């Protein structure tokens, strides 16, 4: 069975960069930092490409966000070998929380007839991990989240889900929303040929109206969560630092741990 | 009813530490909201769970005993919790901010048309309004959030609250929940347990001892493990150590691993790159052992030791053992 695969991706600030909030509306100041394709989404793209290689089919990359770096995230996935992109871009979406994002993505996904929808189980910025289950619930599809070793056979998908002590083997019917866990695979580097080919791959840009979004459910106003305040965390620490030149630092550390009642 | 519910995390009725922390939080919130702290118990093992739940002060429990909650992934819990909320409209529900807790909370939110907050490090009612604290950008920024309207669905990080006992009489109400076929689509076919060791899991441990590149080779993680076992800690690892294949990813602390807030975090041979700090800087107490006095980790410690970990860690482990032995 050939598979029609969608992968939802987002760009994130580079994990090594310092980030800040825009003081005017408490949303992430995305212009102030270098951004990259969310590394966990990269693993979802790799998983999609592996499924395509095993079953044949097509990989569509879906992303939402403003002009600029968002298309770059799609391009990166295309250069890895995905076939086409869909970019949802509308000013009305600015400030959407995770639930609003999932609602908007669900409307885009619903326009295609995908057998399997992959996402990174979390992003390296907000890390709320809310989007994959919220996407599944919006689409009323089964959700397999925080998984690796994804396999498709006979219209069903199975995968390993990380647990505290090992993993669970889980399985459900297609279509399904599958959230890929960090470390699921080693994403391929785009080849020069892949990068050149990606320039000719189609990326469709859609507005909120194109996918019939209910504007009351997106943007800052449509989001249920509200940021009341933000500020630098006061992290006053004692910074009691001892040098082990006398060879008794372990005693001083043990004293400290005992005072703090850890021993 | 302005009751504060807690979705109890348990295994066959053996309730987790996070559940006890959330029940403690629920008591405080219920007192302010003018309701009761209510445990939502789904699955098998209520007889075992009942005493433990009473010990942490729940005055009421809604109990649905069915193996469906264990045989199928998340959806049966989503269905039952959604139905209970629609029927009884509590003040809110606290979920453990674990992968499965967040997954259940999110799906309940979408299904019920409610908002949800993930990863809260504190939950309070201030001037009648919900106020949740949340750590952003790797703990460098403290964000306060609220939800526009209730019932409020809030995922609370392990160790955000300290569990306090407060024995209560629990009145139990058995819930007749009929789980739909739709909720039985994703089957848990097998549970594979890889690690036999009795160490706590990194996510919820009260103490974590983590090792990094300074350990020089994988076999030296035994030093970290020895210290961890002596002090009752989980073992963590830096990204450098995990990427080098020295320790499994499930133990990784940092931006691409687990974000933890234990009572005590001991970093051994970890320089403290921003990617690591992002995962642990909200720990209550931070200790570092590193031979490089200039390592960034020392800028954020309560207690730091500059020196050779191969000398210090074994001696520290012995010293702790001696003191525990009545010294």
In chain A, what residues touch B239 (CB-CB under 8 Å)? Answer: none
Q: Identify the band that residue B327 occupies on the pLDDT scale cut at 50, 70 and 90.
A: very low
Interface membership of B219 toward A (CB under 8 Å) = no
The DSSP 8-state label assigned to residue A198 in this structure reads: H
What stretch of H or E contains B19?
helix B17-33
pLDDT of residue A233 exceeding 90: no
Token pair for B166: 């407060």
Under 8 Å between Cβ of A249 and B312: yes
For chain A, how far is it from start to end, CA to CA, in angstroms? 60
What's the whole-number mean pLDDT along residues B279-303? 93
pLDDT of residue A29 exceeding 70: no
The DSSP 8-state label assigned to residue A93 in this structure reads: G
Among partner residues B148, B191, B302, which is closest to A240 by beta-carbon distance?
B302
- Dist CA A3 CA B86 (whole Å): 38
In chain B, what residues touch A98 (CB-CB under 8 Å)? Answer: 106, 118
Position A58 scores a pLDDT of: 98
Tell me the β-bridge partners of A56: none
Report the predicted TM-score, pTM, of the whole model to 2 decimal places.
0.86
Tell me the β-bridge partners of A36: A12
- From chain A residues 102-161, the ones with a CB under 8 A of any chain B CB are 102-103, 121, 124, 126-130, 133-134, 136-138, 140, 142-146, 158, 160-161
Beta-carbon separation of A244 and B201 below 8 A = no
Mutate to test the interface with A, among B116, B196, B273 (most CBs of A within 10 A): B116
Token pair for B214: 């300074």
Under 8 Å between Cβ of A152 and A116: yes
For chain B, how far is it from start to end, CA to CA, in angstroms? 53
- From chain B residues 78-97, the ones with a CB under 8 A of any chain A CB are 78
Least confident of A56-70, A168-182, B186-200: B186-200
- From chain A residues 205-244, the ones with a CB under 8 A of any chain B CB are 223-233, 235, 237-244
pLDDT in tens, B18-33: 999 999 999 999 999 9
Q: Positive or negative CA dihedral for B201, B154, A44, A220?
A: negative
Interface membership of B166 toward A (CB under 8 Å) = no
Beta-carbon separation of A99 and B137 below 8 A = no
pLDDT in tens, B134-150: 887 666 788 899 999 99
What's the whole-number mean pLDDT along residues A183-205? 94
pLDDT in tens, B102-128: 999 999 999 999 999 999 999 999 888
Beta-carbon separation of A99 and B75 below 8 A = no
- Dist CA B252 CA B214 (whole Å): 15
In chain A, what residues touch B282 (CB-CB under 8 Å)? Answer: 233
| ipTM of this complex prediction, to 2 decimal places | 0.88
SS3 A175: coil
pLDDT of residue A94 exceeding 50: yes
% of residues, chain B, pLDDT over 90? 79
pLDDT in tens, B52-105: 999 999 999 999 999 999 999 999 999 999 999 999 999 999 999 988 999 999
Position B72 scores a pLDDT of: 95
Q: What is the count of residue pairs from A and B with beta carbons less than 8 Å apart? A: 250
Interface membership of B103 toward A (CB under 8 Å) = yes
Mutate to test the interface with B, among A134, A174, A244 (most CBs of B within 10 A): A244
In chain B, what residues touch A241 (CB-CB under 8 Å)? Answer: 293, 298, 301, 303-306
**Closest residue, chain B, to A236 (C-alpha):** B300
Under 8 Å between Cβ of B11 and B91: no
**Closest residue, chain A, to B259 (C-alpha):** A127
Closest CA to B138 of A64, A27, A16: A16
Q: In what order do the strands lie in the sheet with B152-156?
A: A225-232, B141-147, B129-136, B116-126, B152-156, B92-96, B4-7, B37-42, B60-64, B171-174
Among partner residues A103, A237, A250, which is closest to B315 by beta-carbon distance?
A250
**Which carries the bigger pLDDT value, residue A259 or residue A176?**
A176
Position A181 scores a pLDDT of: 92
User: What is the bridge-based pairing of β-strands B264-268 and B207-211?
Assistant: parallel
Beta-carbon separation of A171 and B135 below 8 A = no
Among partner residues A15, A26, A226, which is closest to B255 by beta-carbon distance?
A15
- Dist CA B139 CA B317 (whole Å): 30
Closest chain A C-alpha to B171 CA, distance in angstroms: 32
C-alpha distances (whole Å) from B99 to each of A117, A147, B154 are: 19, 11, 14
Interface membership of B198 toward A (CB under 8 Å) = no
Contacts of residue A175, Cβ cutoff 8 Å, sequence gap at least 6: A114, A115, A116, A117, A141
Average pLDDT, chain A: 89
pLDDT of residue B308 exceeding 80: yes
- Dist CA B326 CA B315 (whole Å): 17
Among partner residues B187, B298, B312, which is closest to A171 by beta-carbon distance?
B187
**Closest residue, chain A, to B293 (C-alpha):** A243
- Dist CA A192 CA B322 (whole Å): 61
Rg (CA), chain B: 21
């Amino acid at each position: 069975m050939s598979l029609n695969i969608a992968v939802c991706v987002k760009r994130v600030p580079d994990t090594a960069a310092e980030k800040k909030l825009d003081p005017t509306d408490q949303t992430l100041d995305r212009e102030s930092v270098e951004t990259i394709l969310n590394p966990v989404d990269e693993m979802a793209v790799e998983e999609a490409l592996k499924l395509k290689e095993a079953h044949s089919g097509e990989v569509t990359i879906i992303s939402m966000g403003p002009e600029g770096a968002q298309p770059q995230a799609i391009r990166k996935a295309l250069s890895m070998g995905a076939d086409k992109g869909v970019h949802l871009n509308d000013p009305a979406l600015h400030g959407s929380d995770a639930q609003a994002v999932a609602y908007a993505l669900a409307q885009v996904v619903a326009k295609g007839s995908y057998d399997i929808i992959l996402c990174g189980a979390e992003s390296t910025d907000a890390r709320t991990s809310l989007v994959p289950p919220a996407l599944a619930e919006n689409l009323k599809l089964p959700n397999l989240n925080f998984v690796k070793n994804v396999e498709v056979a006979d219209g069903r998908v199975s995968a390993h889900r990380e647990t505290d002590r090992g993993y669970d083997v889980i399985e459900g019917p297609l279509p399904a929303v599958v959230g890929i866990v960090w470390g699921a695979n080693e994403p391929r580097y785009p080849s020069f040929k892949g990068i050149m080919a990606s320039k000719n791959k189609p990326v469709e840009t859609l507005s909120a109206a194109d996918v019939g979004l209910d504007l009351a459910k997106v943007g800052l106003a449509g989001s249920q969560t509200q940021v009341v305040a933000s500020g630098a965390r006061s992290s006053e620490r004692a910074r009691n630092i001892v040098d082990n030149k006398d060879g008794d630092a372990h005693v001083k550390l043990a004293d400290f741990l005992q005072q703090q009642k850890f021993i | 009813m302005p009751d504060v519910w807690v979705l109890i995390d348990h295994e066959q009725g053996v309730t987790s530490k996070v559940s006890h922390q959330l029940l403690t939080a629920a008591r405080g919130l219920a007192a302010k909201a003018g309701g009761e702290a209510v445990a939502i118990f789904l699955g098998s093992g209520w007889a075992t769970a009942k005493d433990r739940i009473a010990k942490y002060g729940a005055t009421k429990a809604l109990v649905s005993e069915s193996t469906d909650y264990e045989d199928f992934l998340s959806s049966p819990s989503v269905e039952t919790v959604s139905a209970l909320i629609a029927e009884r409209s509590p003040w809110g529900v606290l979920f453990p901010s674990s992968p499965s807790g967040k997954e259940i909370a999110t799906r309940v939110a979408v299904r019920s048309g409610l908002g949800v907050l993930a990863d809260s490090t504190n939950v309070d009612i201030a001037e009648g309004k919900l106020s949740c604290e949340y750590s952003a950008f790797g703990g460098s920024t403290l964000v306060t959030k609220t939800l526009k309207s209730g019932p409020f669905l809030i995922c609370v990080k392990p160790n955000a609250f300290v569990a306090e006992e407060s024995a209560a009489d629990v009145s139990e109400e058995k819930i007749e929940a009929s789980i739909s076929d739709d909720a039985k689509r994703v089957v848990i076919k097998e549970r594979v347990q890889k690690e036999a060791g009795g160490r706590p899991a990194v996510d919820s441990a009260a103490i974590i001892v983590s090792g990094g590149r300074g350990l020089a080779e994988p076999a030296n993680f035994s030093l970290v493990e020895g210290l961890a076992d002596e002090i009752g800690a989980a073992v963590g690892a830096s990204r450098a150590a995990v990427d080098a294949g020295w320790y499994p990813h499930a133990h990784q602390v940092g931006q691409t691993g687990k974000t933890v807030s234990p009572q005590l975090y001991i970093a051994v041979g970890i320089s403290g790159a921003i990617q690591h700090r992002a995962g642990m800087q909200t720990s209550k107490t931070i200790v570092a052992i590193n031979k490089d006095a200039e390592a960034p980790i020392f800028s954020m410690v309560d207690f730091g030791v500059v020196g050779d970990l191969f000398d210090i860690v074994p001696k520290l482990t012995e010293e702790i053992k001696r003191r525990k032995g009545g010294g």
